[in-house]
Amino acid sequence: MQIYEMTELSEADRELVEAAKHATNGSYSPYSRFSVGAALRLQNGIVFTGANQENAAFPSGLCAERTAFSSTARMGGLSRMASVLCCRSVLSMKI
């Protein structure tokens, strides 16, 4: 895996990172307290996002990538995907 600084990315890739970060706000993760966002950019430039969704049967749930892929499939775009990016953020935990 290669790690890049934001300044090394193209403007389009920086926008994709920001979209994935923003997607973490849609995370429902009361059990793990670990929010994950994903952003997928199609070849035509349209960006789809998703976030992880946990349920009471933890660790069962939906990962961010899967929710984003579902959005693109619904729009018929899976075969045209250009890139995938995920961001993770640890939420504060009460001990």
| 67: Cβ contacts below 8 Å, ≥ 6 apart | 38, 50, 51, 52, 53
Distance between CA atoms of 35 and 64, rounded to whole angstroms?
Answer: 9
Note if 5 is an active site residue.
no
Annotated catalytic residue: which of 11, 18, 54, 65? 65
Map tokens 């895996």 to a residue. 1
Could you check whether the bond before residue 30 is cis, i.e. omega within 30 degrees of 0? no
Catalytic residue list: 65
